[in-house]
Amino acid sequence: MAEPKHQAARAERAKKTVAKIQKLAGETLREVRREQNPAVSIPIRALSNVTFSAKRQLIELGDKSQSREFFNVSMAKKFMQTFLVAGACKDLLESGKTTSIRDLFYMTKHTIKGAKENTFDDQVESDPIIEDLEVSLDALREELHLFAAKRGSMVGPMVIVDAGDEIDLARMGSGGWSIPSITEDYVIEFKKSEAEYVLLVEKEAVWHRLNEDKFWKKHKCMLVTGNGQATRGVRRLLQRMATELKIPLYVLVDNDPWGLYIYSVVKQGSISLAYESMRMAVPKARFLGLRTRDFKRFKLSEDVKIDLEKEDIARAKQMLAYPWFAAKHWQEEIGDLLAAGFKMEIEALSNKDISFVTDVYVPEKIAKKDWLA
């Protein structure tokens, strides 16, 4: 019997990733045999090493890197940790199994023989090592057979194939389909879709309102929530729907700096994951709101206002300086927020009516093309 398409594709990717790990190990071993100080070059994942491409509308990783050396007291432990994680990933790939980043922490955690020191003391040590490996090997976390906890739901007029199982996303009940951590085409296939656009909702509670009101059925759209900042799996799925199905993506978030940031990450990527922007960001994503001007436009009650805190103000001013918020409309939007001195949650729309977001806000915004891009 022929091997299923998704399994064959996955096996081929695993083979290529193992080869990358073996190449890294081989180069390091040759340095040891030449009695040189073995080192690994790690691209720097920080604001100092990212640029914003105005043409592509993406945050991109620069070419700065740092050397992680074995014969360096401050680097030796991380050097060792890098190869511990690489070895564990190689075992996963060769066995055809996947595991969580939490499991990987425990797989590689032990007390060093003859010492009282652990290889890892906490997961906050192992997670950055995984990201270092990703960018160093040019192999994504998913290609290393690692996944994070699920966080996100989707419902709408689409039939998908998930790891060989056909699923009708119009028949997912009140909870929707739980979006997995790995949403590559060799796992998730879009078999049939009648969706005219995708609506990403920051808040799960608002997503439930829209789902219960069958917004997706009436307006023929895919209704998605990332439960806050969208995970990598959710962002990858959004990017695939936008590019493969060629339908627009609208983003509905809170009226605060954090909502704006959630949108910006979906639109052009993030600083820490700049090396993944090309496969995760949706440069044409449309910002639907909530906006400061919506307070007057929809005649919302004074009760929904929440005073901006010091952290909100500092974050907004910081965002004003980012090149990806340099456009006039974004400077005005953030300026309006600061000038108003208050923020609002999407749930504030329920102050008008429990289904106001479903019946009025979203349909009117899309119909009148009242969005920012």
Structure tokens of 77? Answer: 């432990």
Given a contact cutoff of 8 angstroms between Cβ atoms, the answer to whether 55 and 323 are in contact is: no
Whole-angstrom distance, CA of residue 248 vs CA of residue 198: 6
Q: Smallest Cα–Cα separation from 42: which of 29, 24, 17, 16?
A: 24
Task: Kindly report the number of other CB atoms within 10 A of residue 82's CB atom.
Answer: 21
Residue type, 296: K
Task: Kindly report the number of other CB atoms within 10 A of residue 302's CB atom.
Answer: 8
Structure tokens of 286? Answer: 């449309």
- DSSP state, 50? E
Whole-angstrom distance, CA of residue 285 vs CA of residue 106: 38
Q: How many CA atoms does the CB half-sphere of 109 hold within 13 Å? A: 14
Compute the CA torsion angle 77, 49, 25, 133 (nearest 10 deg): 80
Whole-angstrom distance, CA of residue 135 vs CA of residue 45: 9
Show the DSSP H helices in 96-164 as ranges. 101-108, 123-137
Q: Point out the residues that are catalytic.
A: 106
Q: How far is CA 33 from CA 26, 28, 38, 72, in A?
A: 11, 9, 10, 18
Given a contact cutoff of 8 angstroms between Cβ atoms, the answer to whether 126 and 101 are in contact is: yes
Residue type, 222: M
* Length of the chain (residues): 373
Q: Smallest Cα–Cα separation from 263: which of 318, 311, 226, 317?
A: 226
End-to-end CA distance of the chain: 49
Q: What is the sign of the dihedral through the CA atoms of 21, 23, 24 and 29?
A: positive
